[in-house]
Amino acid sequence: MQSRVTRLVFGAFDPKAGAVGSLYNLVEEPRHNHRLQVTSGILADESRLLLKTFFGRLRAKKRDN
């Protein structure tokens, strides 16, 4: 919000910790004086798989150490 980004584009929602359209919705917080355009769901399945794979590998690496 403070960087004054005008447009946010993302693929996958985060139901556990998301801050845009998931757990929270910071971009629609009425106390903020900045608004931005949000486009969500772009390549949603691919994004979800990429994140799941990345964090799965990270957890496996921590487990192996």
Ordered domains of the chain (ranges, CATH): 7-64 (3.40.140.10)
Which band of pLDDT confidence, cut at 50, 70 and 90, is reported for residue 1? confident
Residue 39: partners with Cβ closer than 8 Å, 6 or more residues away: 7, 8, 9, 10
Residue range 39-50: mean pLDDT, rounded: 95
Cα 39 to Cα 7, 17, 30, 35, 49, distances in angstroms: 8, 18, 19, 13, 19
pTM value surpassing 0.85 = no
pLDDT at 47 over 80: yes
Confidence (pLDDT) at 38: 95
Alpha helices in the chain (DSSP H): 44-64
9: helix, coil or strand? strand
Residue range 34-55: mean pLDDT, rounded: 94
